[in-house]
Amino acid sequence: MQTIEPVLVFALLLNFFILGNSRMWAVIYAVAVQGAALGAMYPIAHQQGLYGSGPEPWSTIAWLTVLTLAIIGIKGILIPRLLFRAMRDADIQWHIESAIGILPSLLIGAAGASLALVFARRLPLVGGHTSALVIPAALATMLTGFLVLITRKLVLSQVLGYILLENGIFIFGLLLIEAVPILVELGVVLDLVVCVFVMGIIINHVNRSLPAATAEHLSTLRE
């Protein structure tokens, strides 16, 4: 598990970059890079789990390669491209507005990351996982996702928050990769849901019925 720790630290740093940045394109790239880097970790985590169990059949390796490429392709290329297309087609503004401002969201993010570190210590770990940064990184990334979901006003930002949430879940899944076979495939399903979201924005041109496609305009229906 040590080999993937630098990447996890990188993912944590990206969380702060995302919280502290107000340009939409930068955030889209950051989320994409985070997703692709984590996807690349999948075969490494998988291999570590299989050390000592003898040579792998080629079919496993082939499937592993296909899945890794699919994850990197979807998270790193397909989703950002769709998001950029949605921005262009739906005339979404390039500047991100936050309900609570940049500095408070950074502070909340930092507090969340520290709490994640503390909380993860309270949960018992299976031997061999003890040194891993995996659980705190997963929790912190999920918290960042929630923060973005709650505080950012653009519909597109909410999609980005959802992807962050999903990246966090993927990090946690790295712990279980050798144990539960279809886990990563489930992660791919989550990605496809994101694609549906963005396609929805593109196809229905959320901006035509709702000017500027901000979530603030989604407030006709209330108590």
Nearer to another protein, 113 or 163 (CB): 163
On whether the CB atoms of residues 8 and 133 are closer than 8 A, the answer is yes
Q: What share of the chain is helix, strand, coil (3-state, %, to 5)?
A: 75, 5, 20
Contact between 212 and another protein per CB under 8 A: no
From the DSSP assignment, how many helices (H) and strands (E) are in the chain? 9, 0
Task: Give the integer Cα–Cα distance in Å for 209 and 90.
Answer: 11
Nearer to another protein, 90 or 107 (CB): 90
Contact between 183 and another protein per CB under 8 A: yes
Contact between 165 and another protein per CB under 8 A: yes
Task: Give the integer Cα–Cα distance in Å for 196 and 38.
Answer: 22
Find the shortest distance in angstroms from Cβ 221 to another protein. 4
Number of chain positions touching another protein (CB under 8 A): 36
Contact between 220 and another protein per CB under 8 A: yes
At 43, the amino acid letter reads P
Task: Give the integer Cα–Cα distance in Å for 173 and 177.
Answer: 6
Task: Give the integer Cα–Cα distance in Å for 153 and 160.
Answer: 12
At 129, the amino acid letter reads H
Contact between 21 and another protein per CB under 8 A: no
On whether the CB atoms of residues 129 and 98 are closer than 8 A, the answer is no
Site track 134-163 with another protein (rule: CB under 8 A), x = hit: --------x------x-----x--x---x-
Contact between 176 and another protein per CB under 8 A: yes
Nearer to another protein, 103 or 193 (CB): 193
DSSP E strand stretches across 135-190: none
Contact between 82 and another protein per CB under 8 A: no
Site residues for another protein per CB under 8 A: 122-124, 126, 142, 149, 155, 158, 162, 165-166, 168-169, 172-173, 175-176, 179-180, 182-183, 186, 189-190, 193, 196-197, 200, 204, 206, 209-210, 218, 220-221, 223
